Amino acid sequence: MSASKAESQSGRAVALLAEFIGYRTENPTGDELALCERLARELEARGAERIEVVGVPRTDKSPGAYVFAAYGQPRTLLNVHVDTVPANTGWTRDPFQAEITDDRIYGLGSADTKGAIAAILVALDEVRPKNLGILFSGDEEAGSQVVDAFVKTEHIRGIERAIICEPTRRRAGVRHRGIRAYRADVRGRGGHSSTADHMPKPIVDMARLALLLDDLGRRHLDTGPEDMKGLCMNVAAIDGGVAFNVVPDGASLRWSVRPPPGFDSEALEQEQRELAESIGRGITLYHPIGHEPFACRDVDWYRELLGGFVDDFGPLDFWTEAAVFSAAGVDAIVVGPGDIAQAHAADEFVTREDLAWAVGMFTHVLNQCSR
């Protein structure tokens, strides 16, 4: 490729990314639908044969959305999420106004993951793929309800493989932990601390359960594959206190685990229920988040698809929606421009070099899908 063409591609990717940063898609208050509608126009201009924009109401009533485009009968899918986290504290520039320097593009979502959207669109300027689907989807940063809705549609029929875009520093993620969040509630009757010796103590009950859960995590420190041992048991918070001289009428405990691929999550939940029952105070358990682990089934196929653009295939330290696609029967891999260290951080950025690499990689993938 000539230097002038590469420079043109890079410039177009930077310009598109700068525009996409201006769409406020922070989850859950942002407008995912507006960006999806804009991306539908971009895909139509690049010859997509079928395009559908879908709003997905989430359980908290906030709006989610996706846009799906098909070239032929898709067997391979490219997926990028359009939403971002809220802007973290510490930004020294406007998170929603791209700042472009000689080597970086700053802005919320630049790395996670609007840079990948821009790179795919520039690659589509170069190649008209066959049998490819493109899904730009929301709600990745919260509950994955948008992708959950997508995999229940007819669009998933025939799709065998997927590239899920996350900032992986040009590595390919082939497996990662799941994440399961829990809450326990216990009730008392509350009252003056002068009678505390003879009253239920919800905070103490939750503290006892917290220690038992921590012990459970320690018992599993050697569980899992060699590069992913342990449960990452995180006892996160005990809530319910009122004042130093008040016995609260209830308390809650929150914790999470990140099980490795192959872990028996049902057995883990049973063990946690037994720990709660052992305290004997009528503790109620809730399970608000249950994202399963992920493992790619056919790494060799992706090695061929990605060519020489990715040399390192290995585990990821963070959860992705590859697990949702895998559970739906679609084999997946995770790769994209940017560094996860920038994701969710103040002054998030992606480098021009990474954007150019991503344009090259996606152009190669589209060519492969056009054979």
**pLDDT on residue 137:** 98
* 351 Cβ contact partners less than 8 Å away, ≥ 6 residues apart: 103, 104, 105, 338
**pLDDT on residue 262:** 87
What is the identity of the amino acid at 118? A
**Average of pLDDT values for 175-196?**
94
Query: Which tops the pLDDT comparison, 311 or 149?
Result: 149
Q: Could you tell me the strand order of the sheet in which 104-106 lies?
A: 99-100, 104-106, 349-351
The CA-atom distances, in angstroms, between 353 and each of 15, 170, 231, 349 are 14, 11, 36, 12
- Asked if 193 and 285 count as a contact pair (C-beta separation under 8 A), the reply is no
**pLDDT on residue 259:** 93
Decide: helix, strand or coil at residue 241. coil
CATH number of 3-176+293-369: 3.40.630.10
pTM of the model: 0.89
**pLDDT on residue 356:** 96
CB atoms inside a 10 Å sphere around CB 178: 19
**pLDDT on residue 289:** 85
Start-end of H helices in 100-222: 115-126, 145-150, 202-219
**pLDDT on residue 329:** 96
Enzyme catalytic residues: 140
Dihedral angle, C-alpha 219, 222, 223, 226, nearest 10 ° = 170
For the chain, the C-alpha Rg in angstroms (whole number) is 23
* Residue whose pair of structure tokens reads 């009122």 in the numeric block: 242
- Asked if 251 and 205 count as a contact pair (C-beta separation under 8 A), the reply is yes
E strand spans, 292-342: 294-295, 313-315, 331-334
**Average of pLDDT values for 87-106?**
97
Tell me the CA end-to-end span of the chain in Å, nearest whole number.
20
* 365 Cβ contact partners less than 8 Å away, ≥ 6 residues apart: 76, 78, 123, 163, 305, 306
**Average of pLDDT values for 171-200?**
94
Averaged confidence pLDDT in the chain:
94
Task: Please state, in angstroms and rounded to a whole number, the distance separating the CA atoms of residues 260 and 68.
Answer: 31
**Average of pLDDT values for 23-31?**
94
- Asked if 150 and 53 count as a contact pair (C-beta separation under 8 A), the reply is no
Lowest mean pLDDT among 1-15, 147-161, 352-366: 1-15
Report the CATH fold assignment for 179-291. Answer: Alpha-Beta Plaits (3.30.70)
Lowest mean pLDDT among 58-72, 317-331, 334-348: 58-72
Q: Is 90 exceeded by the pLDDT of residue 156?
A: yes
Task: Please state, in angstroms and rounded to a whole number, the distance separating the CA atoms of residues 301 and 352.
Answer: 29
What is the identity of the amino acid at 294? F
The CA-atom distances, in angstroms, between 295 and each of 139, 161, 268, 302 are 22, 13, 20, 13
**Average of pLDDT values for 267-289?**
92
**pLDDT on residue 349:** 98
For the chain, helix, strand, coil in percent to 5 are: 35, 25, 40
- Asked if 34 and 23 count as a contact pair (C-beta separation under 8 A), the reply is yes
Task: Please state, in angstroms and rounded to a whole number, the distance separating the CA atoms of residues 196 and 241.
Answer: 14
Decide: helix, strand or coil at residue 309. helix
Q: Give the closest residue to 309 by CA, choosing from 354, 355, 360, 352.
A: 360
Task: Please state, in angstroms and rounded to a whole number, the distance separating the CA atoms of residues 304 and 121.
Answer: 22
Extents of the domains making up the chain = 3-176+293-369, 179-291
Q: Is 206 left (phi over 0), alpha (psi -120 to 50) or beta?
A: alpha
Q: Is 70 exceeded by the pLDDT of residue 120?
A: yes
**pLDDT on residue 1:** 66
Q: Is 90 exceeded by the pLDDT of residue 180?
A: yes
CA angle 269, 333, 114 (to 5 degrees): 100
Q: Is 90 exceeded by the pLDDT of residue 44?
A: yes
Q: Is 80 exceeded by the pLDDT of residue 281?
A: no
Q: Which residues pair with 91 in a beta bridge?
A: none
Q: State the pLDDT confidence band at 338, using cuts at 50, 70 and 90.
A: very high
The fraction of the chain above a pLDDT of 90, given in percent, is 87
Q: State the pLDDT confidence band at 370, using cuts at 50, 70 and 90.
A: confident
